[in-house]
Structure 1
């Protein structure tokens, strides 16, 4: 149905909080927490459809109009730079982009001393922009997981990654030496949908904005 509002929700750590917030905003979320294998939920009476996606795919689904709106981390938005609208900071899913070095290498040394070194990351665009802004030339190696392993085996001298508590860094004898920026979950929209379905999307945006207005970022 053309007047159905399609919402993309991310699998993983943001999923439950996104559902709770939408329910608090008055949307029907029945069944979303009951069957983790389903990828699509139709609430026909409310003219709602939910699609469950990998977090990194949500900007693509929204950009191309497969979803009208979605919930996604700011880290993914910045890295992918898709043509979507960022509507509300939802103030959950907090994480930090950091540059991290092995403890021994970091001791008593400034990051500028690591010019012309190799950096492992899942976020090459974020890393490239950060080091270019600092006037540093580095070789960026893209990995898809276990970034902390790269310095251990000599693949890279340092990493750029997202952390929440920093526990994984500590467990792998890494220390954050520079903070790039903080990230939280955001409500985003397809530009065409926002215009054509404005009467449905804007009241939801205003309700969500009011709900998170006085909330502290959840670290």
Structure 2
């Protein structure tokens, strides 16, 4: 059997995905969760893992250095990479929302939207028939309305706690987000048997959780 290479995002998604793989019967070593290595091999399971920034996972898969990846739907919507989405893993649920200071309306002249999701945000407001100026930020998006940089933000919301602590409110929900298993199109043809086995085992676990 060919070894499968899986790109995994660091952080909470990694922990939940590793737990899901274990539930599906994959023997991942205990140090798997603690390791600071960027490449971890599990030869007894014919698996190799890359640890990457969440936004980069789909890039590794598109270029074929990873056969598979686990990526949030937010990344897939924003990056629009040439990958196939195989399975909704139903982990790390959250959603993309429009937020801002309470009881404020957007500027009538070129309202500004701060976000690390410029493509998702511009598409959303265009579909609403609104012309906006998108300001790309890489972090601390909540700061933008507080200092007058933007009228609204578009960001991931999990519990809403960060918004609340910064005095912001949600105005609209854009789309629900969960983590997905994605595959490189060439790998899907060349390693179809190995990949399908992984998908079947994960599907069984996910189906049990839904029931």
What is the TM-score of this pair, normalised by structure 2?
0.94
* 2:32 paired residue number: 32
In the TM superposition, what is the alpha-carbon distance from 1:211 to its structure 2 partner?
1.0
1:156 shift after superposition = 0.6
Separation (CA, whole Å) in 1 of partners of 2:168 and 2:108: 15
Structure 1 alignment gaps of length 5 or more: none
> For the aligned residues, what is the CA RMSD?
1.6
- Counterpart-to-counterpart distance in 2, 1:74 and 1:44: 29
C-alpha separation in 1, matches of 2:108 and 2:139: 23
Asked if residue 132 in structure 1 is aligned to residue 126 in structure 2, the reply is yes
Task: Give the length in aligned residue pairs.
Answer: 209
> What are the within-5 Å matches in structure 2 for residues 1-219 of structure 1?
3-30=2-29, 31-35=31-35, 37-105=36-104, 116-216=110-210
Which string of whole-angstrom CA distances, capped at 9 and with x for unpartnered residues, describes residues 134-164 of structure 1? 1100000000001111111111111011101
Q: Determine the C-alpha separation between the residues in 2 that align with 1:34 and 1:91.
A: 23
Instruction: Determine the C-alpha separation between the residues in 2 that align with 1:152 and 1:45.
Output: 52
Task: Give the drift of 1:28.
Answer: 2.8
Q: Structure 2: give runs of 5+ residues left out of the alignment.
A: none
**TM-score of the pair, normalised by structure 1:** 0.90
